[in-house]
Amino acid sequence: MFETIFKALGEPTRLKIIKLLSIKELCVCDLEEIMQISQPRISQHLKVLKYAGLVNERKEGQRSICSLNKVLLNNTMDEFQEYIDKPLEEIPELAGEHSRIPCIDGEACKRKLGTNCKIE
Protein backbone atom coordinates (compact mmCIF):
# COMPACT_ATOMS: atom_id res chain seq x y z
CA MET A 1 0.00 0.00 0.00
CA PHE A 2 2.88 2.37 0.83
CA GLU A 3 4.58 0.76 -2.11
CA THR A 4 1.74 1.52 -4.53
CA ILE A 5 1.41 5.09 -3.38
CA PHE A 6 5.11 5.86 -3.39
CA LYS A 7 5.50 4.26 -6.78
CA ALA A 8 2.69 6.45 -8.10
CA LEU A 9 4.41 9.51 -6.64
CA GLY A 10 7.84 8.57 -7.95
CA GLU A 11 7.34 9.84 -11.47
CA PRO A 12 7.65 13.45 -12.63
CA THR A 13 4.53 13.66 -14.80
CA ARG A 14 2.37 12.20 -12.06
CA LEU A 15 3.91 14.47 -9.43
CA LYS A 16 2.98 17.41 -11.64
CA ILE A 17 -0.58 16.17 -12.06
CA ILE A 18 -0.88 15.79 -8.30
CA LYS A 19 0.36 19.30 -7.72
CA LEU A 20 -2.03 20.75 -10.31
CA LEU A 21 -4.97 18.91 -8.82
CA SER A 22 -4.03 20.32 -5.43
CA ILE A 23 -5.06 23.73 -6.76
CA LYS A 24 -8.44 22.72 -8.14
CA GLU A 25 -10.21 19.82 -9.74
CA LEU A 26 -9.53 19.44 -13.43
CA CYS A 27 -10.68 17.28 -16.29
CA VAL A 28 -8.37 15.39 -18.59
CA CYS A 29 -8.38 17.99 -21.32
CA ASP A 30 -7.68 20.73 -18.79
CA LEU A 31 -4.57 18.86 -17.79
CA GLU A 32 -3.76 18.32 -21.42
CA GLU A 33 -3.75 22.05 -22.06
CA ILE A 34 -2.06 23.08 -18.88
CA MET A 35 0.69 20.50 -19.15
CA GLN A 36 0.94 20.54 -22.92
CA ILE A 37 1.26 16.81 -23.23
CA SER A 38 -0.77 14.20 -25.08
CA GLN A 39 -4.17 13.06 -23.89
CA PRO A 40 -3.37 9.33 -23.70
CA ARG A 41 -0.34 10.16 -21.62
CA ILE A 42 -2.55 12.02 -19.13
CA SER A 43 -5.12 9.23 -19.12
CA GLN A 44 -2.53 6.55 -18.48
CA HIS A 45 -0.94 8.43 -15.60
CA LEU A 46 -4.33 9.19 -14.10
CA LYS A 47 -5.07 5.49 -14.17
CA VAL A 48 -2.05 4.85 -11.96
CA LEU A 49 -2.99 7.65 -9.61
CA LYS A 50 -6.59 6.47 -9.35
CA TYR A 51 -5.42 2.93 -8.70
CA ALA A 52 -3.31 4.21 -5.84
CA GLY A 53 -6.32 6.09 -4.52
CA LEU A 54 -4.61 9.45 -4.82
CA VAL A 55 -7.03 10.79 -7.40
CA ASN A 56 -10.79 10.58 -7.41
CA GLU A 57 -12.89 11.03 -10.49
CA ARG A 58 -16.43 12.16 -11.09
CA LYS A 59 -18.23 11.98 -14.41
CA GLU A 60 -19.87 15.12 -15.69
CA GLY A 61 -21.28 14.51 -19.12
CA GLN A 62 -18.46 13.30 -21.28
CA ARG A 63 -15.84 14.84 -19.08
CA SER A 64 -14.25 13.12 -16.16
CA ILE A 65 -13.37 15.55 -13.45
CA CYS A 66 -10.38 14.57 -11.37
CA SER A 67 -9.64 15.68 -7.85
CA LEU A 68 -6.81 15.06 -5.46
CA ASN A 69 -7.43 12.84 -2.46
CA LYS A 70 -5.61 15.11 -0.04
CA VAL A 71 -6.72 13.13 2.96
CA LEU A 72 -5.11 9.96 1.71
CA LEU A 73 -2.00 11.82 0.71
CA ASN A 74 -1.54 13.49 4.08
CA ASN A 75 -2.48 10.35 5.98
CA THR A 76 0.06 8.36 4.01
CA MET A 77 2.84 10.78 4.85
CA ASP A 78 1.90 10.69 8.53
CA GLU A 79 1.37 6.96 8.67
CA PHE A 80 4.65 6.22 7.00
CA GLN A 81 6.47 8.15 9.69
CA GLU A 82 4.56 6.14 12.28
CA TYR A 83 5.35 2.93 10.43
CA ILE A 84 9.05 3.71 10.53
CA ASP A 85 8.92 4.29 14.27
CA LYS A 86 6.86 1.19 14.99
CA PRO A 87 8.59 -1.79 16.67
CA LEU A 88 9.29 -4.58 14.23
CA GLU A 89 7.26 -7.09 16.19
CA GLU A 90 4.11 -5.11 15.47
CA ILE A 91 4.47 -5.68 11.76
CA PRO A 92 3.18 -9.17 10.93
CA GLU A 93 4.58 -9.11 7.41
CA LEU A 94 8.06 -8.86 8.87
CA ALA A 95 7.76 -11.64 11.42
CA GLY A 96 10.36 -13.71 9.62
CA GLU A 97 12.81 -10.85 9.51
CA HIS A 98 12.15 -10.05 13.13
CA SER A 99 12.95 -13.60 14.17
CA ARG A 100 16.31 -13.38 12.44
CA ILE A 101 17.38 -10.07 13.94
CA PRO A 102 18.67 -11.45 17.27
CA CYS A 103 21.20 -13.55 15.37
CA ILE A 104 23.18 -10.54 14.30
CA ASP A 105 23.17 -8.62 17.56
CA GLY A 106 26.64 -7.30 18.11
CA GLU A 107 28.13 -10.15 16.14
CA ALA A 108 30.59 -10.26 13.32
CA CYS A 109 29.21 -11.16 9.94
CA LYS A 110 30.74 -14.53 9.52
CA ARG A 111 27.96 -16.64 10.88
CA LYS A 112 25.49 -18.66 8.95
CA LEU A 113 21.96 -19.41 10.02
CA GLY A 114 21.75 -22.78 11.68
CA THR A 115 25.17 -22.50 13.29
CA ASN A 116 25.04 -19.94 16.04
CA CYS A 117 21.50 -18.87 15.24
CA LYS A 118 18.64 -21.20 15.77
CA ILE A 119 15.16 -20.28 14.75
CA GLU A 120 12.62 -22.32 16.61
**Binding-site size, a second copy (CB under 8 A):** 52
- Torsion angle of alpha carbons 60, 64, 66, 71, nearest 10°? 70
Residue span 81-120 as binding mask against a second copy, x where in contact by CB under 8 A, dash where not: x-xxx--x--x--x-xx--xx-xx----x-xxx---x---
Residue span 20-49 as binding mask against a second copy, x where in contact by CB under 8 A, dash where not: x-xx--xx-xx--xxxx-------------
Given DNA, a second copy, none, residue 47, with its beta carbon under 5 to 8 Å by kind, binds DNA
DSSP secondary structure, 65-108, as one string = EEEE-HHHHHHHHHHHHHHHHS-GGG-GGGHHHHHHSGGGTT--
Question: Minimal distance in Å, beta carbon 70 to DNA?
Answer: 20
Residue span 30-69 as binding mask against DNA, x where in contact by CB under 7 A, dash where not: --x----xxxxx-xxxxxx--------x---xxxxx----
CA geometry: angle at 47 spanning 44 and 48, to 5°? 95
Name the 3-class secondary structure at 54: coil
Name the 3-class secondary structure at 64: strand
Task: Tell me the one-letter amino acid at 71.
Answer: V
Residues that bind DNA (CB under 7 A): 7, 11, 13, 27-29, 32, 37-41, 43-48, 57, 61-65, 108-110
